[in-house]
Structure 1
C-alpha cells in the first residue's frame, strides 16, 4: 500500500467562543499550549494565528459585524486560550452575531456560560422599581406606633432590688 507523501500540515481554525456586552465584544480562541501567537486587530476584522501544543498551525480571520475601536482593545493569553477584549465603536448596541456575514462558521460558537441578554436591562430595572413602588402603595398603613407608657422603669429583679441603671 502506497503512503501519501508527508507534507506540511494544513491550517485549521481554532475553536472560537464569543459573547456580547454593552461596551465590548469578547472572543476566546480555544488553543491549549499555544506558541507563535499573533493577533492583528483592525477596526473591521481580527486575524488570529498560532500553533497548538502539537505544532498544528491555527488561523482565524473574522470580519466583524460592526466597526470596533482597535486602539482601545486588547488580548490576553493563558495556557488554555487567547481572549480578545474588543471595544465596540457604538456602545450599547447589541450584536446579533460576531461576523459581518450572516453565515455561522462551524468553529464559531456563542459562549453561553458568559452570555447575558443585557439589551433592555435599563427597562427591566425601571419596571422592577415601579413594581416595588406599587407594592409599597398597597401596604396598608399601620397607624401610630403603640404607646410605651405601660412599661415600668422601676421593675424589680429576682433579688428584689431595683434594676435601674
Structure 2
C-alpha cells in the first residue's frame, strides 16, 4: 500500500473565522469534503516530496458552518476560509491536544485576542505625546487660537518693561532733549500704565482673557506706525538741514571766487600795460575760476 503524504498546512484564526493554507503548487480539481467538525482534503500537486498525491484529514476543536465556508485554488497554494458557528477564540485548531507534525501556525495571518484588543483601542497622539505634538504643531502651523489664553504669560513681562521705557518720552521734552510738550505723552503713558499694572497685572483672572491678546496687538500696531512716522519725519528734517548747509557752502565759495576775481582785475588795470591787459585778463580770470 503506497504511503499517504500530507502537505504542510498553515492555520490562523480570528474571532469569527478560521483560515487554512495548504502548501501545494499546481493543484487541479482537489477533492474536498467539509463537515461541521471535519475537513478532508486530497489533491495531486507539487509539495515537500515533489509531484505526488497528497491528502489529510483535520478534526476541528469546535463546529464550523460549511455553507458559509469556502476555498480557492491558487498556483502556489490552496486557501480555506472557514466560518465558525459560534464566535470566539479557539485554544487550538484540533480536538486533540497533540497536533499533527504537518500542521503549523501561519504567522503572517496570526492574531490573538490580545492583538485584537490592541487594534481596537484607539490611540491618540495628542494624548500620548502632548508636549511634542504641541511643539511640532506650533513650528509647522504657527500659534493656534488656544494660544490666546497664554498671551500674558508669554509676553506680559516684555510688555511691562516696554511700558516703563515709555516714560522716557515724558522726560525728554522736560529736559529739553526733544521739542514739544510733555503733557500729551504723560497722559498717554499714564493711561496705559494704569490699565497694564493696576487693572491687568494686579488681577490674575484677567491674565487668560482673550481681550489681553487684542489689547497688546493694538498697542503694538499703534507704536509701530507712530515710531515709523517719527523716523520718517526725522529723516526729512535731516535732509532739509543737509540741503540748507550745502546751499550756504556753495554760496560762500561763489562769493570768495567773485572777490578774488575782482582783486585780480583791479590789479591788472593798475599794474599791467594796456597792450598786455587782454592776455593777462584772460589768464587770471581762468585761474580765478579754477
Query: Could you tell me the TM-score, scaled by structure 1's length?
Result: 0.71
Residue 82 of structure 1 and its aligned partner are, at CA, apart by 0.6
Q: Is the 8 A contact 1:19 1:110 kept in 2?
A: yes
Q: For residue 61 of structure 2, what is the aligned residue in structure 1?
A: 65
Deviations 1:118-142 (A, max 9, x none): 357347745857xx49x7xxx9x96
Q: State how many pairs are aligned.
A: 141
Alignment of 1:1-165 (within 5 A): 9-53=2-46, 54-91=50-87, 93-119=88-114, 121-122=116-117, 125=120, 132=127, 143=149, 144=208, 146-147=213-214, 148-149=217-218, 150-151=220-221
Is there any run of 5+ residues in structure 2 with no aligned partner, and where? Answer: 135-145, 150-207, 229-290
Give the helix-richer structure, 1 or 2: 2
Cα distance between partner residues in 2 of 1:123 and 1:33: 38
Give the strand-richer structure, 1 or 2: 1
User: Helix, strand or coil: the match of 2:113?
Assistant: coil
User: Helix, strand or coil: the match of 1:112?
Assistant: coil
Is there any run of 5+ residues in structure 1 with no aligned partner, and where? Answer: 1-7, 157-165
For the aligned residues, what is the CA RMSD? 3.3
Residue 10 of structure 1 and its aligned partner are, at CA, apart by 2.3
Residue 36 of structure 1 and its aligned partner are, at CA, apart by 3.5
Deviations 1:83-119 (A, max 9, x none): 100001111x111211111111110001112112235
User: Helix, strand or coil: the match of 1:49?
Assistant: strand
Structure 1 residues 89, 56: closer, same or farther in 2, change over 3 A? Answer: same
* Relative contact order higher in (CA < 8 Å, ≥ 6 apart): 1
Q: Is the 8 A contact 1:9 1:57 kept in 2?
A: no
User: Helix, strand or coil: the match of 2:29?
Assistant: strand
Structure 1 residues 79, 124: closer, same or farther in 2, change over 3 A? Answer: closer
Query: Could you tell me the TM-score, scaled by structure 2's length?
Result: 0.42
